[in-house]
Amino acid sequence: MEYLPIFLDVKNQPCLVAGGGPIAHRKLENLRRAGAHIRLVSPRLVPELEPLVGLPQIDWHQRPFEDSDLDDVRLAVAATDDRDVNRRIGALARAANVPVNVADQPADCTFIMPSVIDRSPVVVAVSTGSASPVLARMIRARLESLVPAGYGRLADLCSRYRDRVKDRFVRQRDRRRFWDQVLQGGVAERVFSGHLEEADAAMERALAADGDPTDMGEVYLVGAGPGDPDLLTFRALRLMQQADVVVYDRLVAKPIIDMVRRDAEHIYVGKQRNQHTMRQEEINRLLARLAKQGHRVLRLKGGDPFIFGRGGEEIDTLAAEGIPFQVVPGITAASGCACYGGIPLTHRDHAQSVTFVTGHLKDGSMNLNWPQLAQPNQTVVFYMGLVGLPIIVDRLQQHGVSPDMPVALIQQGTTHMQKIYAGTLSNIIERVQADPPEPPTLVIVGEVVKLREKLGWFTTTRDPAQGATTPVLPGA
């Protein structure tokens, strides 16, 4: 290692910051968050620094650096706009055995300030040993997605229960196993989701258990989005990586299934029109049974669980049986497919509202409020509307919608199989019959569809190997 990674306690300790520019501001902010008492020396300050000089922990000396500014300080930062002054501060600090950081001059430093992920009391520091601060920031950005904000709350919980766990488990091996299971199970997820009282109750049950103290069966109802893996939320990805069992349907794209924890058990419960691998009631009971067996169950659903995803039915069963669960929203198909198709769902000139309806046929009919769906100045999105497309076209025109109303049918939106059929109510059936699309499909009806012709800049890149489709600007 080029540097020894350590964390210094500078609470209420005098620390020098020489300089009033953007670099000095960034370094001062880190010291301020760590509780240091800061001696700020600079003739001028950037606007970002000015509001801070009135804080009790910051003393601003409006003048150039003087040697005496290093007296009695615990740590020093040299960030003036004069390299010679910075070098002199570094030399004086080293002679006085004061740790010093000199901006952009590694040879004059005795320590460097890393890129920080602050989840206090959890803090992650990333450094490249001054080789590339930009690379350190890029690595930090990657890690941000892997360290949820709730890790600070989780560390607080660990601190509160540490002594009790030590008393409960005499052997270190047992304590380590307990914490491994708690920090990767239901207790941690309750903390991450903000249910702190439930997390405490779960810890109490775990400590009081006679056998295995960590039988934390739980169901994660996770929205997988419309197909592109890049549209998953951070939370969805985290739960996918820690589930014991995944229950999924046909609307979940294979590249997303491949991102689930590799040793998890896979159970397919896909449903198609008039062909159900497993009825919804059986799925509900399956989720409950698996959770009662102590499994962390991932119920992975295409789009968003609460938008035509029957998520409400599934959690109703779980709640009735007292099984803990959490719901993670996903990007619904209407939003994802419209975005990747270059169609804004609302527009001040064309659509002041948007309506989501299901086009799924029941008993050979579509029981929808057609007068409402035929109202002007709105966008109507039909989920699962391919089979019922002739009825949709006919009913809308019967209720006064012009045959020239723009329509778009989007096949397998946001994936490498995405294809858009654009037309009007008068000709969309003919276009679909000439080149039948592959489900799942989404139907968008409204004046906003014709904006796609104006948005000629909108293109997509497709990577069949990854199964991803990404919107980009020309030349990007």
Q: Which residues are catalytic?
A: 249, 271
SS3 call for 9:
coil
Q: Tell me the binding residues.
A: 22-23, 43-44, 226, 302-304, 307, 332-333, 384, 413
Q: What secondary structure letter does DSSP report for 150? A: T
Give 154-161's long-range contacts (Cβ < 8 A, gap of 24+).
154/122, 154/183, 154/188, 154/191, 154/192, 155/119, 155/121, 155/122, 156/121, 157/187, 157/191, 157/196, 157/199, 157/200, 157/203, 158/183, 159/121, 161/203, 161/207
Q: Tell me the binding residues for S-adenosyl-L-methionine.
A: 226, 302-304, 307, 332-333, 384, 413
Angle, vertex CA 264, rays to CA 258 and CA 267, nearest 5:
80
CA dist., res. 402 & res. 251, Å (int): 33
Sign of the dihedral defined by the CA atoms of residues 266, 272, 274, 280, in that order: positive
Residue with tokens 């039948």: 436
Q: Beta-carbon neighbour count of residue 118 at 10 Å? A: 15
Count how many residues are written for the chain. 476
SS3 call for 126:
strand
> Going by C-beta distance under 8 Å and a sequence separation of 6 or more, which residues neighbour residue 433?
none
Torsion region of 433: left, alpha or beta (phi above 0 gives left; psi -120 to 50 gives alpha): alpha
Q: What secondary structure letter does DSSP report for 100? A: E
Q: Tell me the binding residues for NAD(+).
A: 22-23, 43-44
Give 117's strand partners. 124
Buried b / exposed e over 362-388, threshold 16 CB at 10 Å, is eeeebebebeebbeeebbbbbbbbbeb
Residue with tokens 């039988």: 215
**DSSP-H helix ranges across 35-106:** 83-95
Residue type, 410: I
Question: Around 165, how many Cα atoms within 13 Å sit in the side-chain half-sphere?
Answer: 21
Query: For residues 472 and 461, is the Cβ–Cβ distance under 8 A?
Result: yes
Strand-pair category, 325-328 with 218-223: parallel
Query: For residues 243 and 264, is the Cβ–Cβ distance under 8 A?
Result: yes
